[in-house]
Structure 1
Amino acid sequence: MKAQSKAQQRAAGAALSAKRGETKVKDLQGASKDMYDSMSEDELEEMASTDHDGLPDEVDD
């Protein structure tokens, strides 16, 4: 799944970092914490690696 906004891509990157043990899970907040709990490392990697050129900063739900 590709990220739909820059904010989503950054949140996925933060969650991926925690999954890999590079940052502490307790430091995650909001969407990145939800992503950490509900997505696999492969899913997070795919979302975090989305090219953010042309993506909006945020998307309305």
Structure 2
Amino acid sequence: MPAKSKAQQKAAGAALAAKRGDIKKSALQGASKNMEKSMSEKELHDMAATKRTGKPQHAGKS
């Protein structure tokens, strides 16, 4: 599943780093904390690897 915004991609990257042990899980906040708990490493990788070109900073509420 691709990221819908730059902020979502950044949160996925932080969650992925915590899941891999590169950063402490206690350093996560907000969405990245929830993502780390609920998503697999592959799902986080797919979201974090999304191209940033053309993405809004934050996803609009729909």
> Same-fold call, TM > 0.5?
yes
2:46 maps to 1:13? no
Q: CA offset at residue 60 of structure 1? A: 2.6
CA RMSD, Structure 1 to Structure 2 (Å) = 0.6
Match of 1:29 in 2: 29
Residue ranges of structure 1 left out of the alignment (5+ in a row)? none
Q: Distance in 1 between matches of 2:58 and 2:50?
A: 14
- Distance between the aligned counterparts of 1:29 and 1:60, measured in 2? 21
Segments of structure 2 that go 5 or more residues without pairing to the other structure are: none
Residue 4 of structure 1 aligns to a residue in which SS?
A: coil
Give the TM-score of the pair, scaled to structure 1.
0.97
Q: Percent identity?
A: 59
Tell me the TM-score normalised to structure 2 length.
Answer: 0.96
